[in-house]
């Protein structure tokens, strides 16, 4: 379970880093990370026993999370988004076992929740200014 969580964060961070640091679009970065991770998982699947289906869905969904705009979000926010995605995936995927559209929807919802949490935390940390009263 820890490995799948770290794998989700790694895939989203790699997608975000490729899109931010190299001259590739977010779709190209997502494709590169997904193909690389699926190839690596297929190699591992031939030598070890693990749930290939679970990790392939996590890699695909995490690459969607990593497609977030680097002009709006920072690296640490992508970690929060992928954590929310991971939690939502484990709670909702039992009710919706098919993956058509669910991974993209979960990635979208995780980014929305993450941005709302960010905005709420900024509002909570803002201290009210003392008003000057002229008598």
For the chain, give every domain's residue range.
2-125
Arithmetic mean of pLDDT, 106-135: 72
Position 125 scores a pLDDT of 55
Q: Taking the model in full, what pTM does it have?
A: 0.78
Q: pLDDT of 1-23, one tens digit each?
A: 788 888 888 888 888 888 888 87
Using CA atoms, how far residue 58 sits from 1, 12, 22, 67, 97, in Å, is: 12, 10, 23, 14, 13
Type and span of the H or E element at 37 = helix 26-47
Query: Rounded to the nearest 10 degrees, how much is the dihedral formed by the CA atoms of 77, 83, 84, 90?
Result: 170
Per-residue confidence at 91, pLDDT binned at 50, 70, 90? confident
Number of H helices, E strands in the chain: 5, 0
Question: Quick check: 80 and 120 in contact, CB under 8 A?
Answer: no
Q: pLDDT of 69-87, one tens digit each?
A: 777 777 778 888 888 889 9
Residue with tokens 């799948």: 4
Which of 44, 37, 42 has the alpha carbon at shortest distance from 62? 37
Structure tokens at 56: 């392939």
Position 50 scores a pLDDT of 78
Structure tokens at 113: 């929740």
């Amino acid at each position: 379970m820890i490995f799948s969580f770290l794998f989700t964060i790694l895939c989203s961070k790699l997608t975000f880093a490729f899109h931010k640091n190299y001259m590739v679009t977010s779709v190209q970065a997502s494709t590169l990370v997904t193909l690389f991770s699926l190839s690596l998982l297929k190699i591992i699947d031939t030598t070890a026993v693990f749930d290939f289906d679970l990790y392939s869905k996590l890699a695909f969904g995490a690459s969607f999370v990593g497609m977030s705009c680097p002009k709006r979000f920072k690296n640490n926010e992508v970690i929060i988004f992928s954590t929310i995605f991971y939690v939502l995936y484990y709670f909702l995927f039992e009710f919706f076992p098919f993956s058509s559209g669910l991974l993209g929807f979960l990635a979208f919802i995780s980014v929305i929740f993450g941005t709302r949490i960010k905005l709420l935390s900024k509002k909570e940390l803002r201290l009210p200014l003392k008003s000057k009263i002229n008598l």
